[in-house]
Structure 1
Amino acid sequence: MIKVGLTGGIGCGKSYVADLLRRQHISVYDTDKEAKRLMMESATIRQGLVDRIGERAYTPDGALNRELIASYLFASPLHAERINRLVHPVVQDDFLQWVDKQNGSLVVMECAILYESGFDRLVDEVLLVRAPERVCIERVMKRDGASETQVRARMAAQMSDEERCKRAHYIINNDGNSDVEGILRDMWMKIGGGRLHED
């Protein structure tokens, strides 16, 4: 089974590409979504968050105190590293267990921080989605109701597209004008996932 990492910066449209693949009945593991689930379900993560942040890491009804955790994460790079060291190994194990349950010749891991987290070592090929900076900024401003300054700050905290391009095996330019579905079909044949169907 071939494991493909799907990554890209904020606003590049990697979730759009992931949805295209799901429509083709290709299994996609969304690390962001699954990490949020595991922060609720994993006893290891729950205890670790309480040890690091305190009992208020979870609300009285057992829900994740997202606001408190976000403020802790963004307070310092050291805090973010502590949380990542706690969460990433659990997500990695969950992904590998998920892979074992899948059928077919190919699966996908969707992960914005594929390289930063070290998850790239869990996959065989990396597919990078990218778009011009201005396009990404406008998409995120529209999607999140964020200011340009806020979006640029989030971009500055990420690995650069140049660095991602050096390390990726395949690149899709999702600039709003390219035939992303057509490019993806051709790419999938090269990767070895078989032919994607046209709608």
Structure 2
Amino acid sequence: MTTPAFTPWILGLTGGIGSGKSAAAERFVELGVHLVDADQAARWVVEPGRPALASIAERFGPGVLQVDGQLDRAALRKLIFENPEQRRWLEALLHPLIGQEIFSYLAKAESPYAVLVSPLMIESGQVRNTQRLLVIDAPEALQIQRTLRRDATTPEQVAAILKAQTSREERLRHAHDVVVNDRDLAWLHSQIDRLHHFYLTLRGGQP
């Protein structure tokens, strides 16, 4: 394995539900960019055998575990959303572990820059660990339409998720780059390709 001549800089990638963030992330991977998914890191830290899962089961009881020993996310979600104190306890346990997991994977990057994709980039504070932020944006009506087409959900549930996420305005306020993803996949790919070529010219995420 070759060592990079310089440390890759980190591009944050975020966007609201149904914005096309995952499709943009896949395109970066196709272009050979090292990518770490914060949601995936959140799943890794609670796998069976990891200390975090044992701590969660000790605090909340065996009802948060499935028969095969995996975390029952739905059961845990119900417990923590009914009790803000328990949610804060869980966040205090998991956020540092997720951060460690993310950056151990980012450290393996051999591309000139690496991408950290996270739906909670701003809310979680992960944006502070990136050098540049790309926001995939879309009109709210289109976000709802795409999410309904993709997930078994209701318009009310999608509206609730949108309300819980950082506002579009707040995301855009933090952005260095914005792609308004209101066309087809080929167009989104063309925009990511254009940005990728620009990013290859940067050092530390800055022109």
TM-score past 0.5 threshold = yes
CA distance in 1, matches of 2:109, 2:78: 36
> What residue in structure 1 maps to residue 5 of structure 2?
none
What SS is found at the alignment partner of 1:17?
helix
Residue 89 of structure 2 is aligned to residue 82 of structure 1: yes
Name which of 36, 39, 44 aligns with 2:51.
44
Report the CA distance shift for 1:84/1:42 in structure 2 as closer, same or farther (over 3 A): farther
Cα drift, residue 181 of structure 1: 2.0
> What residue in structure 2 maps to residue 132 of structure 1?
139
| Further displaced range: 40-49 or 152-161 | 40-49
Map 1:50-129 onto structure 2 (within 5 A): 50-129=57-136
Residue 15 of structure 2 is aligned to residue 8 of structure 1: yes
CA distance in 1, matches of 2:86, 2:63: 16
> What residue in structure 2 maps to residue 143 of structure 1?
150
- 1:83-104 CA-to-partner distances (Å, cap 9, x unmatched) read 2222111111111111222212
How many aligned positions are there?
194
- 8 Å CA contact 1:125–1:169 kept in 2: the answer is yes
What SS is found at the alignment partner of 1:116?
coil
Cα drift, residue 54 of structure 1: 1.7
Higher helix share: 1
Residue 190 of structure 2 is aligned to residue 191 of structure 1: no
Report the CA distance shift for 1:129/1:34 in structure 2 as closer, same or farther (over 3 A): same
TM-score (normalised: structure 1): 0.89
Structure 2 unaligned runs (5+)? 1-7, 203-207
TM-score (normalised: structure 2): 0.86
Letter in 1 for 2:26: D
Percentage of pairs with the same residue:
27
- 1:60-110 CA-to-partner distances (Å, cap 9, x unmatched) read 431111221121233244443332222111111111111222212111111
Structure 1 unaligned runs (5+)? 195-199
CA distance in 1, matches of 2:127, 2:166: 14
Cα drift, residue 182 of structure 1: 2.2
Cα drift, residue 59 of structure 1: 2.6
Name which of 16, 29, 33 aligns with 1:26.
33
- 8 Å CA contact 1:106–1:193 kept in 2: the answer is no
